Structure 1
């Protein structure tokens, strides 16, 4: 009995929370498919249905920039944090002499530094430009204005342009649920 009550509560909760639009105005789920997944007892599929297209796109970028995650188990407590870094200095420790990120640039950080990070700009054509910015600008050279200006400009001028990961849908859905 509890199983059916829980499934009903979950179905109604998911329908309420997943109907509508994401921050880009895109439809976030198909309630018919969601209800069918829950009533058939496939709660994992229902959870995957509740992720937004925005979360899935962020997960694809994460998997593109850090391809080792395509074959990894998700660490405990893992999150992907998204931050708009448009116009911000590449080297925040020396902002006055640092190049600035172009408009539309986002930084994805794992919940622990060891999880990695991806700094990218969507090119609008199925590709992204990944900026090879270090997570930490350590060493005395980064404190020198000329060195900092030259090296941060190289980071901006020489991104890796790559096609966004479009592989295993289950992996994308798995990582999408960790996008915060």
Structure 2
């Protein structure tokens, strides 16, 4: 629309210059008028000024053209929309597996919740217990591995390096003050990890594989 408006303005200006010259010739032949070279230079200068104004108006403060700015805005809105229909928890599970999952080629992403106070090793009567609510993510096969963590609510999580499956019997377990040393060490060696946002498309793919499972 701006280009069309400038074109009409340019056309009008040129027409006015030409008509003024013609009118002057017919009413007062003795009056000195600009020659053809001067007229051409005036028109050329006007065109250059108009093009510069149009170019300036088409750029944003960041140096991008208006069309590029609109494309960036559309991409941002599209990125927001693709995750809008999912809950924060669903997005969190997918992002964490995308970042920390041992195997990305999974057929389903199982999600299991354990409340605070749950034994780290359910098969050990002297096991240390989780101090916070934890989530365990896993695939459908043992080879897929697992990720066990608790959320800090600030974009970071506490990752517990616990086995996905515990042995049925525990032999020669060291116990100190009534607590299994091995399980307590797993809690003490917890790693704090910042969760990456990841690519939205990949996050959505994993969300579609999520399955809530019951505690054993």
State if a TM-score over 0.5 links the two structures: yes
- Displacement of 1:104 after TM fit? 1.9
Partner residue of 1:154 out of 185, 191, 199: 185
1:63 aligns with 98
Contact in 2 for aligned 1:51/1:177 (Cα 8 Å): no
Q: Does 2:161 correspond to 1:126?
A: no
- Displacement of 1:105 after TM fit? 1.3
Which structure 2 residues correspond to residues 40-55 of structure 1 after superposition, within 5 A?
50-55=85-90
Query: How many residues in Structure 1 have an aligned counterpart in Structure 2?
Result: 129
Partner residue of 2:112 out of 69, 76, 82: 82
1:113 aligns with 142
Partner Cα separation in structure 2 for residue 98 and residue 55 of structure 1 = 30
**TM-score after normalising by structure 1:** 0.61
| Bigger Rg over Cα | 2
The structure-2 alpha-carbon separation of the partners of 1:79 and 1:125, relative to structure 1 and needing over 3 Å to count, comes to closer
Partner Cα separation in structure 2 for residue 126 and residue 49 of structure 1 = 18
2:166 aligns with 137
Unmatched segments (≥5 aa) in structure 2: 1-77, 212-216
Unmatched segments (≥5 aa) in structure 1: 1-36, 38-45
> What is the CA RMSD across the aligned residues, in angstroms?
2.6
The structure-2 alpha-carbon separation of the partners of 1:124 and 1:79, relative to structure 1 and needing over 3 Å to count, comes to closer
Partner Cα separation in structure 1 for residue 207 and residue 201 of structure 2 = 10
- Displacement of 1:112 after TM fit? 2.2
**TM-score after normalising by structure 2:** 0.52
Q: Deviations over 1:109-165 (max 9, x none)?
A: 22222222111011122111110001223397x333425711100111111111112
- Displacement of 1:83 after TM fit? 2.1
Structure 2 residue matching 1:97: 3-state secondary structure: coil
Structure 1 residue matching 2:174: 3-state secondary structure: helix
Contact in 2 for aligned 1:127/1:164 (Cα 8 Å): yes
